[in-house]
A and B are shown apart, each in its own frame.
Chain A
Amino acid sequence: MDSTQSLAWFVPELILSGTVLVLIFFDLIAVQRDERASGVGIVALAGAIAAVVTSLALWGAAPTWLFGRMIVLDPFAVFFKVLLGLSLVAAILMSLGSREVAGRANEGEYYTLLVSSGLGMLLMASAGNLLMAYLSLEFVSLTSYVLTGFLRHNRRSGEAALKYLIYGGVASGAMIYGMSWIFGLTGSMDYGVIAQRVVALDAQSQDALFVALLLVLAGFGYKISAVPFHMWAPDVYTGAPIPVTAFLAVGSKAAGFAILLRFFNFGIGDAAEAVPGGVAFLSLVMAICFLTMTLGNLAALPQQNIKRLLAYSSIAHAGYALLGVVVFREDGVRAALVYLTVYYLMNLGAFWVVMLVANQTGREDVDSYHGLAWRGGAAPAVALTVFLASLAGLPPLAGFIGKFYVFAAGIRGGAVALVVAGALNSVVSLYYYFRIVKAMFFEEPTAGEATLEFPPFGVGALVALATLTIVLGVYFGPLYDVAGTAMHVFRG
């Protein structure tokens, strides 16, 4: 499809681009009139919701290539567009109620960057060309660096941004180098052409392909914070404003999985299996999967800062979702899609509670949750328990369904050892998740501790997320069916 025709199928991205422009001007005008730019959040929210709605309208459209085979439109892309759009909506809603963000002078700048980052993620979900993949990934990274450092006078925030930038620079350097090898080997940047040509490579070139895939994996692995490319995550999650942390944890990670899944399921995975070096490559990604979940969980055990704890937990969850990727089967993709959806719900909910508590207490350590249930925070405490139990994978909650499907994919794909490791890992994770539950419920507040009051809107959002977490844990058929449609990557 040529560029003009493509625009009709590109509405969500166009809306987000428009929102970015509107935000910049709106901010300028508001600043000139010396009004507080509180309306920017609402504008951003409207844009994000419109993007989600228009993305939903694309569900069921015939798969096709857009913009001269730069961008793919298929159910897989639409699935991620909706999920990422919802992450953006949630991040904006959180920001509206965040003490770190709301009411700051440069709020307009913040929402501009947030929406830009969302736009980049939508592009990541549908990139069908190495160039597009690189550009969109880089776009998301650059905006994320600035968002992480948004708290200008906070040293941790600045440190986090700098670390993020350096790690990100190295990873994307490695990735583009790997992409240049792939281009050199196949003479194309188009996924479809690459997939056809990799299988015809001679033995020597296949070894080169192995190296190229490794380098590309470094770039993608960094985005999903897989071990050993995860080092940035704990610092960045701790330093960034909480809504940004949540956005990175659910949105950026899902976008990373989108790009990873499409790249490796576009025939390149099959090619990797066919070549001698490919076997080594498969064992390697399995090892990465194992290390990611194990290291994430073990490192989370001693954490005292709850954002840092959730950072390591999100590394571990990337490991579980990777289990769906490493079996290189369609039902693995399906499982990963289900996993990322439930992960969105429960992780977002957890960060939301963290934000509400931090708004009140100004603290982010586990000790500040001491007796929370008994001093005005019963609803957030119960909601957080639901999210944490779901993260630990207890039925009948959504997190269990996610684990159930990735484990099922692992068993079918013959990775029984990885599944056993994953199952044992969830026992480990229970311990650190429930340290927070213990603090909230089992420890009684000491006299003189202030009673907290939570805003009705925040509590309402928590109740909604917790309810969804339970409902999806009991009735997950529709989600599984949707993921079944979305798992087919368009190769035409």
Chain B
Amino acid sequence: MEHLLSGMVFFPLVGAALVLCLPSTRHDLIRGTATAFTIPGLLGAFSLFQRFNPEGGFQFVERVPWIPAYNIEYLVGVDGISVTMVLLTALLSTLCMVASFGIEKAPKGYFALFLLLETGMMGTFVALDFFLFYVFWEVMLLPMYFLIGIWGGPRREYAAIKFFLYTLLGSVLMLVALLYLYFTPTPHSFDMTKLGVLVADKIPLKVQMLLWLALFIGFAIKIPAFPFHTWLPDAHVEAPTAISVILAGVLLKMGTYGILRINYGILPAATLAPMSDLVPALGGLSVAFVVLAALGTFNIIYGALCAMAQQDLKKLVAYSSISHMGYVMLGMAAFTDQGINGAVLQMFNHGTITAMLFLLVGVIYDRAHHRDINGFGGLASIMPRYTFVTGFAFFAAMGIPGLSAFISEVLVLLGAWKVYPLLTVIAASAVVLTAGYMLWALQRMYLGAPNPKYADTGWEINGREIFTLVPLAIIVLVLGIYPKIILDLQDPALRQLNTHVTSASQPAARAMRVAAAGE
């Protein structure tokens, strides 16, 4: 049995333990060690990328009994749904370590917690045992709470506990659903690869839908979908730069990943069941339509409008995340091959683009100690290189053709058009809003006459910062031109997932058509 994935998960944990043993005055040593311990994960990701066989189902599987009396296993593996997320996590972890070199306050604690966080993130994406998944999912909370609460901005205490409470609320509902699913088949099982088949005929559809919704709330808080999103602007704004990157780049994806893996994988029949079973007023609209497609579209518009109203650049980026994650929800609710491929590609692309955006916000904040969009002006003449990179990232976020987000958004819209034409029109028109707030911010901050306050500061982006941005920029550019690199990895698994859901709900598929007609 190969231990590639276990290594990727637990190497950072070893690093965390080691960092804690270092003398607390040696800041350089601490940073270096912490970064070094993310490198094996990155190398592992390269190896995974090369050797992953898209047609091969679950790969690099490791299965060890953990608590045999309860049939809990240490079961990890990757398939087309998770492989890109593992790559993204490894990449962003290393880059964010480098981006954290400026941390002066208790760096030992910071880097140890960061490494623990990486273990949690990796573990969540590779876990195939539901219990294990839940443990990793929760393991992330504590480090995140401290990273925001100790190293964050002025309102960090509020933001940290709000993030913690929201996420925990979602996960306890997940715990109840998890237990219910576990006890349904005999012998009881937590194996996520089999649970779908095991419980299919054993739980009445109505109960399945309740479980689906309980799980969904847990994941929707993470995405975050309206109305569970209010923790996000607070957490993102208060978190230190690298942590905002991780939050937006990796943690948000766990919400949509969870829905694909667990809601779709284990409860496919409930996914397309008509809502009328629970709420008669909603008629034949399917669950996926109501909570994913409609809510996702609302997210797109709502996030964009909120972003437009922001004065704080970081808040603007935070709301743009809400908006962009809406495309993921819309795409995955369509159950067309383009739609779901676009959604998962968008998860990856949003991860890289939003990481750039937050890093860039961090660069200017480190220098000016504020993020007020109206407080700058003419930065292009003060920091030309910085402005160039920012312009690139902003255009990428807008979905300009040639850059990666364009491909994923178009795929989502193409895929959704066949099923939800009205929603697609609304979602597509939001691209104008996105361009609006992005360009407007760009204009206010970078163009025009330079703010005299900053005219002679000699600010420019430094080598370390460029080092964190360039790999992301290359990926954005390459995937904008040749998205097949990622699409090939995920496509077979996603097609299979589509069939899995639609075939499990043949009667319910009708409900979806009704939904489409009812628009």
- Interface residues, chain A, CB within 8 Å of chain B? 389, 394-396, 400, 404, 407-408, 411-412, 416, 419-420, 423-424, 426-427, 430-431, 434, 438, 441-442, 475-477, 480-481, 484
Contacts and interface: CB of A to CB of B under 8 A. Distances in A.
A411 B180 contact: yes
Interface residues of B, number: 31
Contacts of B168: 394, 426-427, 430
B157 A484 contact: no
Contacts of B172: 423-424, 426-427
A423 B175 contact: yes
Contacts of A430: 164-165, 168
B169 interface: yes
Contact of B183 (A394, A412, A434, A441): A412
Given A411-B179, A442-B157, A423 B138 contact: no
21 contacts: A394-B142, A394-B168, A395-B134, A395-B138, A396-B135, A396-B138, A404-B175, A408-B179, A411-B183, A412-B183, A419-B176, A423-B175, A426-B172, A427-B168, A427-B169, A430-B165, A434-B145, A434-B164, A442-B150, A442-B157, A477-B68
B361 interface: no
A367 B105 CA distance: 23
Nearest 7 pairs of A and B residues by beta carbon: A423-B172, A395-B135, A477-B67, A395-B138, A411-B179, A442-B149, A427-B169
B215 to A, nearest CB: 13
B180 A431 contact: no
B441 interface: no
B317 to A, nearest CB: 24
Contacts of B439: none
Nearest to A425: B172
Interface string B110-146: 0000000000000000000000001100110110011
B21 interface: no
Nearest to A407: B179
A400 B68 CA distance: 18
A420 B178 CA distance: 12
A395 B176 contact: no
A217 to B, nearest CB: 28
A396 B10 CA distance: 14
A411 B188 CA distance: 13
Nearest to B175: A423
Interface of B: 66-70, 134-135, 138-139, 141-142, 145-146, 149-150, 156-157, 160-161, 164-165, 168-169, 172-173, 175-176, 179-180, 182-183
A487 to B, nearest CB: 13
Contact of B161 (A396, A407, A438, A476): A438
B67 A480 contact: yes
Contacts of A396: 135, 138-139
A476 B145 CA distance: 26
A408 B180 CA distance: 8
Contacts of A481: 69
B176 A411 contact: yes
B146 A441 contact: yes
A420 B176 contact: yes
A441 B150 contact: yes
Contact of B173 (A394, A400, A412, A423): A423
Contacts of B146: 441
Contacts of A434: 145, 161, 164
A481 B70 CA distance: 10
B167 to A, nearest CB: 10
Among B134, B146, B179: residue with most chain A CB under 10 A: B179
A447 to B, nearest CB: 17
Contacts of A426: 168, 172
B164 A438 contact: no
Given A442-B157, A477-B69, A407 B135 contact: no
B165 A480 contact: no
Given A394-B142, A412-B183, A431-B165, 8 more contacts: A389-B142, A395-B135, A395-B139, A407-B179, A408-B183, A423-B173, A427-B165, A477-B70
Contacts of A389: 142
Contacts of B66: 477
A412 B176 CA distance: 11
B454 to A, nearest CB: 30
B21 to A, nearest CB: 14
A246 B100 CA distance: 42
Contacts of B157: 438, 442
Contacts of B150: 441-442
Among A396, A412, A423, A477: residue with most chain B CB under 10 A: A423
Contacts of B138: 394-396, 400
A407 B142 contact: no
Nearest to B24: A378
A442 B164 contact: no
A395 B67 CA distance: 15
Among B68, B138, B142, B172: residue with most chain A CB under 10 A: B172
A416 B180 contact: yes
Contacts of A419: 176, 179
A434 B164 CA distance: 10
A400 B182 CA distance: 17
Nearest to B65: A477
A438 B176 contact: no
A381 to B, nearest CB: 11
Contacts of B68: 477
A477 B179 CA distance: 18
Contacts of A438: 149, 157, 160-161
Nearest to B166: A427
Contact of A431 (B67, B135, B161): B161
Among B139, B146, B161, B183: residue with most chain A CB under 10 A: B161
A480 B138 CA distance: 22
Contact of A442 (B135, B160, B165): B160
B452 to A, nearest CB: 35
A470 to B, nearest CB: 11
A442 B150 CA distance: 5
A88 B78 CA distance: 49
B70 A480 contact: yes
Contacts of B69: 477, 480-481, 484
Nearest to A480: B69
A466 to B, nearest CB: 13
A480 to B, nearest CB: 5
Contacts of B149: 438, 441-442
Contacts of A416: 176, 180
A442 B180 contact: no
Nearest to B172: A423
A329 to B, nearest CB: 13
A400 B145 CA distance: 18
A407 B164 contact: no
A394 B179 CA distance: 16
A396 B146 CA distance: 17
Nearest to A378: B109
Contacts of A476: 67
A395 to B, nearest CB: 4
A430 B162 CA distance: 11
B172 to A, nearest CB: 4
